[in-house]
Structure 1
Amino acid sequence: MLADVAIPEIRQVPVPGGRLEDNYGEKIRIGLIALCDDVAVDRDFARMIPDDRVALITSRILLEQPNSERTFLAMADRIPDTVRLLCPSLRLDSVVFGCTSATSFIGEARVTELVLSARQGVNVTNPGTGAITALTELNAKRVSVITPYTAANTENVVRMLAKGGIQSVQVSCFGFDTDMGIGSVPRDAYVEVARNTNHQDAEAIFVSCTATKALDAIDEIEAATGLPCVTSNQAAFWHALRMAGWNEPIAGFGRLMRNCW
């Protein structure tokens, strides 16, 4: 019990003018399933929100470290309960499962099925589906891929792209297998690799993984290479917005966010 204190009279007063309004996200609300150790994905989504007409609701999901096929697959059964924590009393328009590699192992269709089992009627996407859709929209069927992953995890993402009709013509990876390690790679590292790589006949650059610092490097990569640059977080956010009906350009995050609505 709290100590006894003298409490003044408490008055309940009406809202001035009697006017109430919707919660944030009156136009679009996006639910994000973020990995427990990924500090980049919700930060990046928040940076891309154009104004208060769009709201972001985040729920965390456990991913054991280090990252591997076993730990990614183990997340699948946790997805429905994580979705149920996304403001169940409020309207949601899109739900993003925020892991590119896990999507490549669990499967895009299965991720969608698991989300919809807990929240029917929402649009569902993930960084893999978002990237494939974005690259297709940019008319980029051949891409240069940069990842922070190990070669094994990178290989599976390349397979997912191929299944979606996107050919990887050049692939580079940094070799990390934890989200904390991935998050330690500076943004400039992505710029330098993109600038110094022979992209052959690639039509775009794809930087995979939601835990990277690559979002803020997109415009610099595009300027240095002359190619459109798509990242996991940018593509997933763009796809979630577009599926929910957004059609206004958003500056500062590459050609995709400026032009592809």
Structure 2
Amino acid sequence: MQDEAKDSRGWRKVFGVLGPSTNTTVQPDFDDMRPAGVTNHYSRIIVSNAQAISNETFLAGTQAIADNTVDAVKSVMTADPDYLVMGMSAITFYGGAEGAARFRRQIREVSGLYLSTGSESLAAAIAAYGGVKKVAFVSPYYPVANEQVRNFLSDYGYETVRDVPLQCPSWTSIARVGTPRLREVLKQLDGDDVDAILQVGTNLSMVKLAAAAEMWLGKPVIAINTATYWHALRANGIQDKVYGFGRLLEEF
């Protein structure tokens, strides 16, 4: 019998989801993966649709997202969530493993809640598959941010063999990268020297393509939105198998 003291829709867990205001992918992705009794409440980190045309402007744009995150946390806390899920990834890779942990601690200090971040969720997802030592990844970022991702993965013991920065010209343009382009990149990244292929950048829509690619590449292909939501569910003791999004949500 349902406990009347619990949220009528989120009777298992109420998630506060934080993402840039320009991001149009995280909200539908997370809702597609949502099991019964779990609800997602998106809080937008206000940021302009920055024109990222160089390493410097990309970093400046992501720093603006970081600077405005606390306000989004305070906003979603008014819904009394049980847990926070970070629907952004670039800034969670900055500074390697220690930088990611520091960012997580900062958000916990503001909210009092535990949270799943993109970078640490991705590391946990790779470990769940097991046997992965060498990886390749695609991002919508500029090369300077890909370097931060490589450094983060190295801190966890993973060697990046290849990576592709798509260098999207604005935040909203990330969501407009189509499946044909991403298929090309997957073929470019794959090889006998790679144990797993990763995708970072939460506005890049790849949860369905990654699931399909696992079948025809025969190796883990991990989309960051899948990894982050999987981590949030499992961190809260929710072991439901969610089908259609790859082995991560189906097997681990």
Question: How high is the TM-score relative to the length of structure 2?
Answer: 0.87
Structure 1 segments (4+ residues) deviating >6 Å: none
For residues 1-261 of structure 1, the aligned pairs below 5 Å read 22-51=7-36, 53-64=37-48, 65-67=50-52, 68-90=58-80, 92-105=81-94, 107-120=99-112, 122-139=113-130, 140-260=132-252
Higher helix share: 2
Question: In the TM superposition, what whole-angstrom CA distance separates every residue of 1:225-257 from its partner, at most 9, and x where no partner exists?
Answer: 111111111111111111111112111101111
Question: How many Å separate the matches in 1 of 2:248 and 2:16?
Answer: 21
Q: Take 1:252 and 1:198, find their aligned partners in 2: how far apart are those partners? A: 22
Structure 1 residue matching 2:185: 3-state secondary structure: helix
Letter in 2 for 1:88: T
- Aligned letter for 1:70? A
**Equivalent pair of 1:80/1:117 in contact (CA under 8 Å):** no
User: CA 1:102–1:236 in structure 2 vs 1: closer, same or farther (change >3 Å)?
Assistant: same
Separation in structure 2 between the aligned mates of residue 66 and residue 102 of structure 1, nearest angstrom: 17
TM-aligned CA distance change 1:168 to 1:251, over 3 Å: same
Unaligned runs of 5+ in 1: 1-18
> Measured at CA, do residues 247 and 124 of structure 1 come closer, stay the same or move farther in structure 2, by a change above 3 Å?
same
Decide whether the 8 Å contact of 2:25 with 2:205 is kept in 1.
Answer: yes
Residue pair 2:163, 2:189 contacting (<8 A) in 1 also? no
CA gap 1:21/1:105 in 2 versus in 1, 3 angstroms: closer
What RMSD, in angstroms, separates the aligned Cα atoms of the two structures? Answer: 2.0
1:177: Cα distance to partner? 4.2
The unaligned stretches of length 5 or more in structure 2 are 53-57
Contact 1:203/1:228 (8 A) holds in 2 = yes
Structure index of larger Rg: 1
Query: Which whole-Å CA distance do the structure 2 matches of 1:89 and 1:186 have between them?
Result: 34
Q: Distance in 2 between matches of 1:209 and 1:231?
A: 9
User: What TM-score does the superposition give when structure 1 sets the normalisation length?
Assistant: 0.84
